[in-house]
A and B are shown apart, each in its own frame.
Chain A
């Protein structure tokens, strides 16, 4: 959805940081690195700050139970870094997310170990004629550009 990889450092034994915007088996980090240790961290500051209800946490937990991932809680960046140290990893691989909080956490992690952010397959292929940053004033304008590209895929 966003951004190219933050770094392209070659890695041999990274850990995978799984976050709440990519809780499926098609998560590009899980697909690219099958079998590597993966961690999800319940973000204590976010949970308390937003007063998230138990059902939201339960939904995430049930998603995690279907993934090969170690589940932790606490300060996300420190937990991910500690998990990397625990597995003597030479980097962290994760998947892009739009949330500005993801970017902050990513920066905190990347300050200490190499971080690769894999892109997610976009809804609208980034082709010529597609929606540009200047097209987001209203949905109708965005959709005029996006709709034809989305329907190009229809083989009807």
Chain B
């Protein structure tokens, strides 16, 4: 599986560097870390895989379609998170691929979010685990459950969309940004669970799991790092491509997301802020 030229020699306690297959690597890891759950992701680590992803980036298509689950998002996040690709190198690759500035504006802006969260982490340190501001939901922080309910992580809520997102998270370690937002909003607002419990769950699984981008995004959804809580409804979910889950959803007729924003605000919050929509 690996380059042969200058492999370090193995001393006692050094972990092996040669495997006949991914299955062999997985077996090795299972023996090495018996408490680590699950299997390998279909997403392959390493620079070669990152280069393939980078070559496929289409900034213009990204700008037009990124909010859709099937949109032309880059899937670069695990490689950026672990420094396989530097953020500056990705920036330069994007700038080098476009001829007009508007083609690249959306993607460069999203790269900026990563830099922004990293800078905040540098400032806040482990404080990113604390509420940055009071919640704007009208509910006291103490009314949120501190543990993630088992049906959410287990993908057995009976809501086809949320269960599919949880299964994808567990199997691949990657979710589209919109799926992350919907899942987080469901956990925090519909199930009234502290965002920290959801954030810890995501970090167990996300290959791009990064306490800064993750926790601060959870806080943005929860409203401890934003002016308003983030909400979605069924129409929003259907519009951006998760509607196919509704067909055959056991809860389709009593869908908790099938309402106007105004009705959801009344139902979910103790005040009536106007939630942000994306």
Interfacial residues, chain A to chain B (CB-CB below 8 A): 1-2, 20-27, 35, 37-38, 42, 47-48, 50-66, 68-73, 86, 95, 98-100, 120-124, 131, 133, 136, 139, 142-143, 146-147, 150-151, 153-156
Contacts and interface: CB of A to CB of B under 8 A. Distances in A.
Nearest to B125: A100
B112 A123 contact: yes
Nearest to B41: A55
Interface stretch (B134-142, B204-212, B234-242): B204-212
B203 interface: yes
A18 B35 CA distance: 24
- Nearest 3 A/B pairs, CB to CB: A62-B45, A22-B83, A55-B41
Contacts of A1: 118, 122
B126 A66 contact: no
B20 interface: no
B46 to A, nearest CB: 4
Contacts of A25: 47
Contact of B100 (A35, A124, A136, A156): A156
A70 B14 contact: yes
B45 A121 contact: no
B118 A66 contact: no
Contacts of A153: 91-92, 95
Contacts of A47: 33, 36
Interface in B79-101: 79, 81-89, 91-92, 95, 98-101
A150 B3 contact: no
Nearest to B227: A138
Given A64-B17, A150-B91, 12 more contacts: A2-B122, A23-B84, A38-B8, A53-B36, A53-B173, A54-B30, A59-B45, A71-B15, A136-B119, A139-B113, A146-B115, A147-B112
B101 A156 contact: yes
A131 to B, nearest CB: 7
A60 B25 CA distance: 12
A100 B126 contact: yes
A65 B112 contact: no
Contact of A48 (B35, B38, B43): B35
Given A146-B115, A151-B101, A52 B36 contact: yes
21 contacts: A22-B83, A24-B85, A26-B86, A26-B89, A35-B6, A50-B200, A51-B36, A54-B30, A55-B40, A55-B173, A59-B173, A60-B82, A63-B84, A66-B3, A68-B8, A72-B15, A73-B15, A99-B211, A136-B116, A146-B112, A155-B95
Instruction: Tell me which of B17, B43, B49, B170 has the highest count of chain A C-beta atoms within 10 A of its own C-beta.
Output: B17
Nearest to A2: B122
A61 B45 contact: yes
A120 B25 CA distance: 30
A123 B88 contact: yes
Contacts of B85: 24
A27 B179 CA distance: 32
B247 interface: no
Contacts of B44: 62
A52 B115 CA distance: 24
B1 interface: yes
Contacts of B1: 65
